[in-house]
Structure formats: C-alpha cells, structure tokens
Amino acid sequence: MASHMSGGIFRKKPFSITRQHGFTTIALICFFVLYAPILTLVFYSFNAGNNLMLWEGFSFHWYVLAYENELVQEAAIRSLIIAVSASMISTLVATMAALGTTRTQKFKGQNLIFLMINQPLMVPEIVTAVALLIFFAIIKTFTGYYGLGYLIAAHAAFCVPFAYLPIKARLDGMDLSLETAAGDLYATPFQVFRRVTLPLLFPGIMAGAMLAFVISLDDVIITEFVKTAGQDTLPTYMLGQLRRVITPEINAISTVLLGISLLVVTIFFLVSRKRF
C-alpha cells in the first residue's frame, strides 16, 4: 500500500526517486556508458603490443616510452607551468570578484556583473578561442612577443568563472556574525578579512584553485588557437599524435592525465566539504 495507518491517521510515504521501478537499471546503464570507454582506455594502456584493440600481454612499456619521450616531457612541463599560473591568477581574480559581489550592499547592475563573470561558461569555447586568437594576434603585431604569456592569460581568463563559483558559494554560506563581531571590536576591514574572512574562505579558495587547475590542464580548444609553434601542451601533443600514428602511448598519457585529474577533483571534493 502507498500509505499506512498510524494512530488512525493515514500518512503517505515520502517520495524517493530511488524507489521508482527501473531506477537501478537506468543508473547502471548511465554509469556503464560514462565509464566503460575510460576503463577500456586504462586497460589497453598496459598492452604490451602496438595494436590498440588487440591484447598482447601486460606491460608498462608504453608508460616508460612516454616518460622517456622528450616531446612528452616538454609538453608536460609546459602544461604544468600554464595550469599552475592560470590557476593562481584566476583564483586571485575570482576571490576579489566574489568578495565584491557578496560583501557589499545590493546595487544596480550586480546581476549583470555576475552574468559577465560567468560568460565563458555560457558561450561556446570555440567562440572564446577565436576571440582570443584575434585579440592576441593584434598584440603580437605591436609587441613582437610570442611567449607563454598569451596561453597563461587565455587560460586564466577562461578559468575565472570555474574558480569564482565555489568561492562565491563559500562566501554565501558563511555566517556574517563573526565578521560583524570583529568589526564591533574595532578591527579594521583588513584585519577582519585577514583574521576572520580569509581563514573561513580558504577551503573555497582551494577548491576554486584546484578546479581551475584541472580545467586548464585539460584544455585543448583555446590552447590550439592561441599557442604558437613549439608551445604544445600534453592535450595538444596528443591531438597531434592522433592525426599521425595512434599507439598505446596515447593511452598511457591519457591514463596519467586521468589520474592527476581524479586526484585533484578528489581533493577539491574533500576541501569543499570541510567546515570550520
């Protein structure tokens, strides 16, 4: 029965989607579609042979080959430099933006500012990439500079909303009474921020920084449009290899990237749940 009697009063059982017929089956199908290709990639990264789909024995050969590949080493170092730099810049900008949109009284145009900060999330990435390509091409013409600064700036701009959302969510969930109490005890605004707001906000900042790092590390489209010759990152190097000869080395590199991403996302999840 959908209801039962208790004390002469009929009470309905609370609705739960997990109790619906077929929920488990649909959930398992979704998980299979999502993760079966990834597990296949990881499995064949340990294949001893050259064939991507024919298992020829277990081996770390392709991991060793990728590790000893100078092009992979250079691309990996470049990817880390760009990801760390972009993460730091975007997190700093996102933190200031979050404070400016949450620790002030409501003002005209506040929703427009929120919309503009999150614009990269709503506009197709290819549009952002083409816009950055044209913008940086003009700057290159006048300055003659062709270094990694353009890639760092492009990644940082794209990662700002990803860092902004967890930081703003943390600020929205914080109790203002502690900051108010510190102000009542004659603390200056800077002291309130350094002693109260920043320690409470730190988990959100770390979560935003790690999310920005993962987004930057995995980016292909913006990197492909903005980079110049000799500035391949790991994702663009892999894309170039797929256009030439496909070997299990790509599987090995993808598995390492997957492991790094899972590690960072796990830390992001744990940090975002932390309460002070």
**Residues 41, 90 within the same domain:** no
Residue at 3 is within a domain: no
| CA-angle at 49, arms to 48 and 54, nearest 5° | 110
**Residues 138, 74 within the same domain:** yes
Angstrom distance (rounded) from CA 41 to CA 180? 53
pLDDT at 139: 92
Q: Classify each residue of 239-259 as buried b or exposed e, where b means 16 or more C-beta atoms within 10 Å of its C-beta.
A: eebeeeeebbbbbbbbbbbee
**Residues 87, 35 within the same domain:** no
**Residues 162, 109 within the same domain:** yes
Residue at 64 is within a domain: no
Residue at 10 is within a domain: no
Q: Classify each residue of 201-219 as buried b or exposed e, where b means 16 or more C-beta atoms within 10 Å of its C-beta.
A: bebbbbbbbbbbbbbbbbb
Residue at 8 is within a domain: no
Question: The domain containing residue 48 runs over which residues?
Answer: 19-59
**Residues 33, 83 within the same domain:** no
Average confidence (pLDDT) over 96-104: 84
Question: Would you say residue 2 has pLDDT above 50?
Answer: no
pLDDT-derived band at 3 (thresholds 50, 70, 90) equals very low
**Residues 256, 156 within the same domain:** yes
Question: Would you say residue 200 has pLDDT above 80?
Answer: yes
Could you read off the pLDDT of 202-259 as tens digits, one per residue? 888 988 898 899 899 888 999 999 998 888 898 898 888 877 777 788 888 889 888 8
Residue at 98 is within a domain: yes
**Residues 255, 145 within the same domain:** yes
Tell me how far apart the terminal alpha carbons of the chain are, to the nearest angstrom: 45
Question: Measured in whole angstroms, how far is the alpha carbon of residue 12 from the centre of its chain?
Answer: 42
Query: What's the number of domains the chain is made of?
Result: 2
Residue at 245 is within a domain: yes
pLDDT at 189: 80
Rg (CA), the chain: 24
**Residues 228, 131 within the same domain:** yes
Q: What is the mean pLDDT of the chain?
A: 84
**Residues 215, 118 within the same domain:** yes
| Percentage of residues of the chain with pLDDT beyond 70 | 91
pLDDT at 107: 72
* Inter-CA distances, 192 with 24, 62, 181, 201, Å: 49, 53, 9, 12
**Residues 79, 34 within the same domain:** no
Question: Would you say residue 12 has pLDDT above 70?
Answer: no
**Residues 37, 108 within the same domain:** no
pLDDT at 161: 92
| CATH number for position 257 | 1.10.3720.10
pLDDT at 178: 78
At which of 31, 59, 87 does a domain end? Answer: 59
- Those residues with Cβ within 8 angstroms of residue 18's Cβ, 6 or more apart along the chain or in another chain: 24
Q: Is the whole-model pTM more than 0.85?
A: no
**Residues 167, 222 within the same domain:** yes
pLDDT at 271: 67
pLDDT-derived band at 11 (thresholds 50, 70, 90) equals low
Residue at 14 is within a domain: no
Q: Which residue type is seen at 25?
A: T
Residue at 7 is within a domain: no
